[in-house]
Structure 1
């Protein structure tokens, strides 16, 4: 009777169903476990003759497959960054060290003594290595290969600040000193590191240019001049004379900076009230002096005069460059003695215009003979007859405010009587050069200004302080290592110094737009339309690197620290640091490893640095149902599954990576318990079939 075999197949199938359900239940807490499902098929015995007959009773049941369910399990978070879970499709790749590759969803990894990332049974997690540029290397064992982070010298500093525009530069001390807070406008400190990881600091000082012009005097004793290409003639102070018809004079090859000889214009000689001669430069010489390459553009060419009375050369620096660097001059190749003029070492950047009074028209007893009306820049002043010189001065002083109200750019109007009575009109320095103030006289025959000629009422050129507003928004920037040693910020050597270096220790100039307050220029280079400031190279800030003091301009990698002050401003608000950064750090020790969603293995160090040490590899298959279980929640590839397709997490259809998380078993306990009931019922039913068949057999035997 075939029924016995049929019942036996049913018992076997039910037993397998119970075994699979029991295995699922047993692994309901196994990390990365995938539940199995028992699949059945009926059995029919057929023969060639009569095949296809519909009255075949069948031969029972068989287990056609025990299929695994690869759906994702619940992801639970843990306290270990080495616990990994794949959120989506894919498998971790494991190598047993003998070249045997298995695949798993169980991501409970740890570090072995060599720093390799291994599974609980000691197999090596596979991934991509990364080179210094982050490019992928071939598949290999993932390992924490860098146990410490080497120090890195600071190469870049980002510093954005605001300097309070309300600070009055006139209040600053004349000479900068880092120990004198009254000599600079603002200071701030940035921490840095040298190439050995030692911590240092760079303190920056910003001193706004004061509204003054420095006056320099060069002793010219013993110099000679050449009039009109004749033989040289000694310069004799206090008795200057030159041949009739001579037009220019060359002072023994006098040069400023690297420029050509500077000639003086004898045809434009001026004499002061005492008759002393002052000789200005020729027009061509002024142009050479102003040349940014061959001359010295810090010097105001119109201020350069030969002072015959004292046998010296006198000139002024533009206000922007006061206290920036001493000019260098040579005569006949010999450096001249350079001394800051002791009598008038500084002069205000204001323009001062003088109107001289001819005091001889004032009778000592009766004063001015007739009433006179003068108009100074729109303000009419009536000077009554019989007014004395002193009374005239009082009228001028009394009209000061009215003149200033009509001319807001005028700072003061004063009457001065020091033997040369005059009206001095001083313009505000920030207004720059101004035309001579308008003056008119309506006085009959009582003209009382010098030479009785209103058109010549200008102060002598060598005494005139031309208006200079170049100081507005201009700052000298100093830097000191650890607030002790001054650093090289790229200051160009003073013209004419013949320095072999392209830069020297000293301050550089930074300039702000006086209208908008935004950064306009850094060390002579304009800020671009994008707002990015030219970089400043700081040399000498790495005591551990002797080459740090040398700027290698012919290579891409420059020595020193690149300073970027983009975004700095000069607004009328508190001086503050708006942003600050630097890229150096000291040595660091490994404190942990974590993984990004895209698979990067990131090492963290005690110095705050992070490094990508590798990239986890994720394998997928064309037919993952064809994988063969190999125990320890691992599978091996087969012909049915096809070869592994390996890519980083998050690429293509690969799932992303979760660090400090584990994928739990996907077993549904409720469903498995129901399967136990079904298996038990099926087993009992098949047992009943055997019992029934046995009873029938016994009945037949008793016939």
Structure 2
């Protein structure tokens, strides 16, 4: 009887410990509740009568974790991630050995001093390389995810696409009077930013003048503003010249408002920046601009820029990090570049109950769980990744408190049974 009571005490203590551990981790992100599972002890031999043999007590079979999902808590940190559905994040202690990794549902990540995504234990979040143009995964070989603080080498502007509607009823101007410093001598002006070979930026201004000497004709002139001020940028072989020597080009429109072919369908080219006297601070002086103006129209509608694009860029600095539903890491940089930097890797196993608990809300695969299966968010049986949210522990505090009371009652009952057994033995020893 004493062994039976002692096994009951041990089981009740394990139940109390398990429930207490659940309650202690109520606010642990990604924590999964545990449940103590027990079995009875029953043994017989050829010399015992099975009909009259009592049980021998209780034994602990397993402390099993329950992997159902916890609720979400929303944060303002874009690096906070949660998995909705099946799957775990993979983290590695050594970024040089990503093959040695563990699994977690705790998605509280941040950037370390080297701009790698890490958790509170300085373990590296693993992901995959992607094609920066298509966003497709290049290889399912996991590696630490890094967020470059800078992106892209400077690229000088060489091609500019411009689409504009020039109003058919615009005021007529005398091209012989054009002066870019006098707004009364032209109809409209616009500006955009361009870059040289070192990534230095300049303001490119465009002036539109409706030619009073030729029907359905507009003249365009360009200038570049550097550290010294605004300077004319002439068109190489241009056919529109002002009295000041500023050379532009003409745009002739058909009677249906469409643009007649310019320069044989080739881009309109400017003189070199060096020829224009632009202060480049040592950048490439042979830089020229080529304009594609095929999108221009002359309709009876107000002046409007319908399209503008230039192919230059300066070095960009990281301004924002985001994630899409596929777990792609999206970096936004100060040069206007939006880059897919990688994709968060996801892992699952065939039998979650067979995982080895490592602490820190982390697990590792075993022969009982099966090998790790790698994949990506929202594909196959893997759940989706949401950023700006964390998964809370999946315990039910009300149920845990009820279980705690029940385990306490079981402990008291087994203690009482042990006390009764001791008292009976004492009474037997006092028989004379």
Q: TM-score, normalised by structure 2?
A: 0.81
Q: How many Å separate the matches in 1 of 2:301 and 2:330?
A: 43
What's 2:203 paired with?
201
Q: How many Å separate the matches in 2 of 1:93 and 1:136?
A: 18
What's 2:242 paired with?
none
String of CA shifts for 1:183-229, please: whole Å, max 9, x gaps.
Answer: 65544333222222222233333444546xxxxxxxxxxxxxxxxxx
Match of 1:657 among 385, 404, 410: 385
CA spacing shift, 1:59–1:537, aligned 2, 3 Å: farther
Tell me, yes or no, if structure 1 residue 189 matches structure 2 residue 191: yes
String of CA shifts for 1:251-276, please: whole Å, max 9, x gaps.
Answer: xxxxxxxxxxxxxxxxxxxxxxxxxx
Q: How many Å separate the matches in 2 of 1:38 and 1:633?
A: 18
Tell me, yes or no, if structure 1 residue 14 matches structure 2 residue 16: no
Tell me, yes or no, if structure 1 residue 475 matches structure 2 residue 214: no
CA spacing shift, 1:613–1:151, aligned 2, 3 Å: same
Q: How many Å separate the matches in 1 of 2:417 and 2:45?
A: 26
Q: How many Å separate the matches in 1 of 2:195 and 2:115?
A: 29
What's 1:25 paired with?
23
For this pair of structures, how many residues does the alignment match?
407
Q: Offset at 1:683? A: 1.4
Q: How many Å separate the matches in 1 of 2:18 and 2:349?
A: 25
What's 1:128 paired with?
128
CA spacing shift, 1:576–1:100, aligned 2, 3 Å: closer
The within-5 A match list for 1:157-196 is 157-167=160-170, 169=172, 172-173=174-175, 178=180, 184-196=186-198
Q: Offset at 1:131? A: 5.4
CA spacing shift, 1:574–1:112, aligned 2, 3 Å: closer
Task: Give the SS at the match of 1:635.
Answer: strand
The within-5 A match list for 1:444-523 is 472-482=215-225, 484-488=231-235, 507-515=248-256, 517=257, 519-523=258-262
Contact 1:481 1:487 in 2 (8 A): no
Contact 2:259 2:294 in 1 (8 A): no
String of CA shifts for 1:110-169, please: whole Å, max 9, x gaps.
Answer: 333333222222222211234554553532122234445543333553433222212354
Contact 1:173 1:182 in 2 (8 A): no
Q: How many Å separate the matches in 1 of 2:271 and 2:326?
A: 42
| 32-41 vs 477-486, greater mean Cα deviation | 477-486
Contact 1:93 1:126 in 2 (8 A): yes
Match of 1:67 among 64, 69, 72: 64
What's 1:144 paired with?
147
Tell me, yes or no, if structure 1 residue 563 matches structure 2 residue 292: yes
Q: Offset at 1:547? A: 4.6
What's 2:2 paired with?
4
CA spacing shift, 1:147–1:520, aligned 2, 3 Å: closer
Q: Offset at 1:66? A: 0.9
Tell me, yes or no, if structure 1 residue 631 matches structure 2 residue 359: yes
CA spacing shift, 1:661–1:168, aligned 2, 3 Å: closer
Task: Give the SS at the match of 2:287.
Answer: helix
What's 1:83 paired with?
80
String of CA shifts for 1:426-475, please: whole Å, max 9, x gaps.
Answer: xxxxxxxxxxxxxxxxxxxxxxxxxxxxxxxxxxxxxxxxxxxxx54343
Q: How many Å separate the matches in 1 of 2:369 and 2:420?
A: 45
Contact 1:32 1:73 in 2 (8 A): yes
The within-5 A match list for 1:285-324 is none
Q: How many Å separate the matches in 1 of 2:40 and 2:237?
A: 91
String of CA shifts for 1:309-362, please: whole Å, max 9, x gaps.
Answer: xxxxxxxxxxxxxxxxxxxxxxxxxxxxxxxxxxxxxxxxxxxxxxxxxxxxxx
Contact 1:184 1:205 in 2 (8 A): yes
Task: Give the SS at the match of 1:522.
Answer: coil
String of CA shifts for 1:13-54, please: whole Å, max 9, x gaps.
Answer: 111100100111111112221110111222221336779x45
Match of 1:154 among 149, 154, 157: 157
Structure 1: tracts of 5 or more residues without a match: 212-470, 493-504, 526-533, 550-559
Q: Offset at 1:565? A: 4.7
Contact 2:132 2:340 in 1 (8 A): no
CA spacing shift, 1:48–1:127, aligned 2, 3 Å: farther
Match of 2:267 among 536, 547, 552: 536
What's 2:278 paired with?
none
Contact 2:128 2:138 in 1 (8 A): yes
Contact 2:28 2:392 in 1 (8 A): yes
Q: Offset at 1:696? A: 4.2
CA spacing shift, 1:641–1:561, aligned 2, 3 Å: farther
Tell me, yes or no, if structure 1 residue 640 matches structure 2 residue 368: yes
CA spacing shift, 1:62–1:561, aligned 2, 3 Å: farther
Task: Give the SS at the match of 1:521.
Answer: coil
Structure 2: tracts of 5 or more residues without a match: 240-245, 275-282
Contact 1:194 1:541 in 2 (8 A): no
String of CA shifts for 1:91-113, please: whole Å, max 9, x gaps.
Answer: 12111216531111122223333
Q: How many Å separate the matches in 1 of 2:327 and 2:266?
A: 37
Task: Give the SS at the match of 1:689.
Answer: helix
What's 2:45 paired with?
47
Q: Offset at 1:687? A: 2.3
Task: Give the SS at the match of 2:343.
Answer: strand
String of CA shifts for 1:640-687, please: whole Å, max 9, x gaps.
Answer: 111111222222232222333322222221111111110011112222
Contact 1:508 1:523 in 2 (8 A): no
Q: Offset at 1:688? A: 2.8
The within-5 A match list for 1:99-118 is 100-118=100-118
Q: Offset at 1:596? A: 3.2
Task: Give the SS at the match of 1:30.
Answer: coil
Q: TM-score, normalised by structure 1?
A: 0.52
